[in-house]
Structure 1
C-alpha cells in the first residue's frame, strides 16, 4: 500500500539480504509537513506477520557496530512506500511521543544488520563495544614501528583498520590471524595478495569492509566471508564470487576479458560503483544500484546491456558526453535516476513522463539548458519527485566540456593546483576572445586583444612548467589545441607573430 497513513497503523516489510520480515508502527502524522514519526518494532520473523503476532512489541533497540543503544524511532516523509504492507491498527501504548531523528524508509537494511548483530556470539560483540572506549594498548606480532624498529603498539580503540601500506613495516612473522588482537577491527586494505586473507575473513564476522589492490589473482571466492563492502582491482580477474550479505561493490580497472561475477539473485541487493565506463561483466544484471563516476563519454545502451534490471542509476560526468539517452526506458526497473554534468544530447532524446513504470525520483544537475527547460515543462504535472538544477548554456560547455586542458585534472605528474590554475587561465583567455569577437571588427585592435589573451594563457602554462616540469608530448599537443581554439579569427600576420611565444612556452 502507498499513500496517506494514520496514527496506529502497523506495516510489515521484507528485510534486505535476509529471508525475514520486520514491522513498524506509525506513531504520529503531521499532514501539514508531509511527515510521519514511526517506530520499528522489536519483531523479526521468517514470514510476513499478522497483526496479532506483533501486538505488544515495543520499539527495536539499535546498537550494532558503532551505534549507541537507542530505540529505532524517527521522522520519515510521506507517502508510505509500496513495499510496506498494512497489517491493521493497534494502540501505540508506551511508545515515544517524539523523535529527534530524521531519515528515509531504509529500515529493511537497518533491521537486517541489527538481526545479524544480535545473532553473533555475545563475547564477540561485547569485546567490540568495550574496545571502542578502551584506554589499553596492544602490540601486534609482526608489525614494526618504521622509525624505532620496535613492535607496533596501538591503543585498542584506534585499531579499527588494517592496511599493508601504513607507517609501519610488516615483518616475516606477521599473519592475518595476528589481527585478532584488535577486537574493533572491521576494515582491511591490502595493496598486495596474502595467502591467508580468505581464511582470515571467513573466520572474522566483524570484518565487513575489504579493499584489495594489486592481488594478481584470476579467481576470487569470497562467498564464505562476512563482507558487506568490497572494493577490488579487476585487472587480472576472470571470476569473482560474492558473499550473500554484500551490499556495496566497487570494481576498479578493466578485467582481461568478461568478468564473471557470482552473486545472490544477480546482485539484487548490491550497489555497484564504477569509474569512467561500463566494464564487461556478467552476473550483475539485477543491481540495486549503479553509480558511474568521472564519465568522459558513455552510452546508455552499454549500461542497459550489462545491467538491464538496475533499480537506481547515478551517472556523474567529468563533465562528459552521454550517448543514446533515448535508450533510458530500456532500464525498465528504474525507480531513481540521477545525472550530473552530462551533455551531448538534446531535448527530443530525453524520455518523457510515463517512460518508466516504477520511477519515483528524477534528479538532473548540470545539463544542457534546452534539455532542462523541456524536462521542467514535460514533468510539471508528474507525480514524481523531480529536481532540475544548474542548466548549462553553450558558453559554459565551451569553458568546461570542450576545454582542451580538462583532462589534466587527476592526471599523474600534474599537480591538482596546476590543473586548476591552467584551466582557469584558458577560461579567462576564452572569455577575453569572446568579448573581442562581440565588440571588435577584424583588424589591428582585434588582433591585439586576442594576442594579449593568448600570451596571458601561455605565461601561466610556462610558469607552471618551469616549476613542475609536466609538459611532455601529450600535454604540448593539448596546449596547441587550446591555443587553436582561441585564435580561429586571428589574422595570419598576428598568428605568425605569436609562434615564438608558443614555442617558448612549450620548450621553456
Structure 2
C-alpha cells in the first residue's frame, strides 16, 4: 500500500475517544512517511471537499510550544492501520516542513490533535497553573498519614509504592492535588477512599493505574482518558465518554465494562492470568485489542468481538503458543494481526483468517518464517517478519529475557544472554539458607556486564533499560532479595 502513496494524499482516521479526523502526507522517502494532522474533526468521516483550507494543528498543550502535529512513520515497523482510509490528494498547506523530527505511528498526528483539544477545554486556571511552574519547588504534603516532601513539578503521583504515607483506613486528603499543578497521572491500590470524587474535581488527571481495585470502578464523571485496572474483586468498570485506553487485568473473574458505543473508540489491552481468561463483556464494539500473557494465549479469549479489525498477541515467556486458532475465523473484520515472540506459532495460522490483509510478526522460528513467506508470496496478505531465530538458538536462549536483543545487534544480544545465563546459574547454586548479601555480588556482576555491553555497542535505550530492570528484579526475587532492595541496587549500579 505505501508504494502507492503520494505527497499530499489525505487519510481519514477515527479519533481516540470518538469521532473522526484527517491527516496528510508531507514527505515520502525510501524509509519513512511523514504525516501532519489537518485542523478538522467531526462525528462522521469528512469528504475531501470539506478539507481544503482547514489549516494545521499547532500543539501548545502541557509543555509544548506551537509545534505542528506532525509525525514520521517507519512502515516496516508500523503496519498501516486498517481504519485509515485514503480519500484523495490536496496541496500541502504552506509552512509544513517536509520531514518531521519525531517518529511514531500512523495515527499519532490525529491523537495529538485530540490531546490539544482536550487541553483547550480545561479551565484556564488549570492551564495557567501548569504553565506557570518555573522552576519546580518543594512542597510539604499530607494525605492524612503524615507529612512528606514532594515537588510541584510531580507529574505522576504514585501512592502504591509506599513512599508517601497514607492513613491506615478511611478517607484520604486528596486536596494535595491543589499543590501539584502538573499531576496528570495517579497510581492507586485498594478501595476507593475518595479517589473517584477527587478525579471528578481535578480534570487535569487523565491517567489512572488502579491495582487491587474494588468491585466497581466508576469513572463516568471524571476526565480520565486512560485506565489500567486489575484486581481479584473487580467486576465492573464505567468509563467516561472520550476515554480511549483501557488496560485490564489480571482480574479474578470476567469483568463488565461500560463505555461509549460499546467500546468502539477504545484501545483494549488485556493482561491475562490464564489462557482461558475471557474478554470483558460490554465491549463488543471494540476495534483494537491486544492480549499479553505468559507462554500460552488462546484465540478463544476474543470470541464475540466481531467488529475487531486489529489484534496484537504478545507472549512474555516460552513457548509462545496460540491455542484455539480456529476461533479467529469468527472475526470477519480482522485485517491486521501482530504477534511478538510467537515462537510456538506455526505457519497454518493464516488459513484461519480469510479477511486478513497484513501479518506482522516480531520473534518466531526461522523454519516457520520461511514457510510463511512461501505460503503468502502470491496472496494479497502483506507480511512483515523480524527476529526470526533458529531452533538451535532458541534451544539455548528461549528462557533468556535478553534473547530479543540479538535482533538489533547479534554480538550485543549474545553477550547479554551469556551474562544473564551465568548469573542465573550462580543464583541457583546459592545455599537454601541464602541471604541478600550472598546474592549481591552475582547481581552486581550482571549489571556491570550490561554496563560494558552498552558502552561497547550502545544498545540500551529506554525500552531495553526497562527490560534489563525487569530481568534483574526477576533474578533478584529468585535469589530472595526484596524488590525495594533490588530496585535500589539496580539504580545504583547501572550506568545506562
Give the TM-score normalised by the residue count of structure 2. Answer: 0.70
Residue 127 in 1 paired to residue 129 in 2?
A: yes
Q: Which residue of 2 aligns with 1:312?
A: 311
CA distance in 1, matches of 2:138, 2:7: 51
- In structure 2, the CA distance between the partners of 1:193 and 1:327, relative to structure 1 (3 Å rule), is closer
Q: Which residue of 2 aligns with 1:336?
A: 336
Q: CA deviation at 1:86?
A: 2.5
- In structure 2, the CA distance between the partners of 1:86 and 1:323, relative to structure 1 (3 Å rule), is closer
Q: Which residue of 1 aligns with 2:255?
A: 259
Q: Which residue of 2 aligns with 1:303?
A: 301
Q: CA deviation at 1:387?
A: 0.7
- In structure 2, the CA distance between the partners of 1:3 and 1:400, relative to structure 1 (3 Å rule), is closer
Give the TM-score normalised by the residue count of structure 1. Answer: 0.68
One of 356, 360, 363 as aligned partner of 1:362? 360
Q: Which residue of 2 aligns with 1:465?
A: 432
Following superposition of structure 1 onto structure 2, how do residues 175-214 of structure 1 map, counting pairs within 5 Å? 175-214=173-212
- In structure 2, the CA distance between the partners of 1:194 and 1:400, relative to structure 1 (3 Å rule), is same
- In structure 2, the CA distance between the partners of 1:338 and 1:143, relative to structure 1 (3 Å rule), is same
Residue 59 in 1 paired to residue 56 in 2?
A: yes
Q: What SS does the corresponding residue of 2:203 show, helix, strand or coil? A: coil
Q: Which residue of 1 aligns with 2:153?
A: 157
CA contact (8 A) 1:164 1:170 kept: no
CA contact (8 A) 2:69 2:113 kept: no
CA distances 1:183-202 after superposition (whole Å, capped 9, x unpaired): 11111112222331111112
Q: Which residue of 2 aligns with 1:479?
A: none
CA contact (8 A) 2:155 2:182 kept: yes
Q: CA deviation at 1:12?
A: 4.3
CA distance in 2, matches of 1:261, 1:196: 21
CA distance in 1, matches of 2:364, 2:298: 18
Q: CA deviation at 1:286?
A: 3.8
One of 164, 171, 176 as aligned partner of 1:168? 164
CA distance in 2, matches of 1:87, 1:152: 57
Q: CA deviation at 1:400?
A: 4.3
One of 239, 242, 250 as aligned partner of 2:236? 239
Q: What SS does the corresponding residue of 2:117 show, helix, strand or coil? A: helix
Q: CA deviation at 1:85?
A: 4.3
More RCO (CA 8 Å, sep 6+) = 2
Q: Which residue of 1 aligns with 2:368?
A: 371
CA distances 1:149-185 after superposition (whole Å, capped 9, x unpaired): xx33332113542415432323588512332221111
CA distances 1:365-419 after superposition (whole Å, capped 9, x unpaired): 134x4433311211234451421532442784587479xxxxxxxxxxxxxx9x9
Q: CA deviation at 1:462?
A: 5.1
CA contact (8 A) 2:69 2:112 kept: no
Following superposition of structure 1 onto structure 2, how do residues 403-442 of structure 1 map, counting pairs within 5 Å? 425=425
Q: Which residue of 2 aligns with 1:38?
A: 35
Following superposition of structure 1 onto structure 2, how do residues 393-412 of structure 1 map, counting pairs within 5 Å? 393=391, 396-397=394-395, 400=398
- In structure 2, the CA distance between the partners of 1:190 and 1:71, relative to structure 1 (3 Å rule), is same
- In structure 2, the CA distance between the partners of 1:296 and 1:10, relative to structure 1 (3 Å rule), is closer
- In structure 2, the CA distance between the partners of 1:159 and 1:113, relative to structure 1 (3 Å rule), is closer
Q: CA deviation at 1:298?
A: 3.0
The CA RMSD measured in Å over matched residues stands at: 3.7
- In structure 2, the CA distance between the partners of 1:364 and 1:333, relative to structure 1 (3 Å rule), is farther
- In structure 2, the CA distance between the partners of 1:276 and 1:377, relative to structure 1 (3 Å rule), is farther
CA distance in 1, matches of 2:11, 2:362: 33
Following superposition of structure 1 onto structure 2, how do residues 70-81 of structure 1 map, counting pairs within 5 Å? 70-76=67-73
Residue 16 in 1 paired to residue 16 in 2?
A: yes
Q: Rg larger in 1 or in 2?
A: 1
Structure 2: segments with no counterpart, 5+ residues: 401-416, 437-496
CA distance in 2, matches of 1:193, 1:467: 37
CA distance in 1, matches of 2:269, 2:54: 36
Q: What SS does the corresponding residue of 1:157 show, helix, strand or coil? A: coil
- In structure 2, the CA distance between the partners of 1:391 and 1:90, relative to structure 1 (3 Å rule), is closer
- In structure 2, the CA distance between the partners of 1:65 and 1:335, relative to structure 1 (3 Å rule), is farther
- In structure 2, the CA distance between the partners of 1:284 and 1:66, relative to structure 1 (3 Å rule), is farther
CA distance in 1, matches of 2:194, 2:324: 46
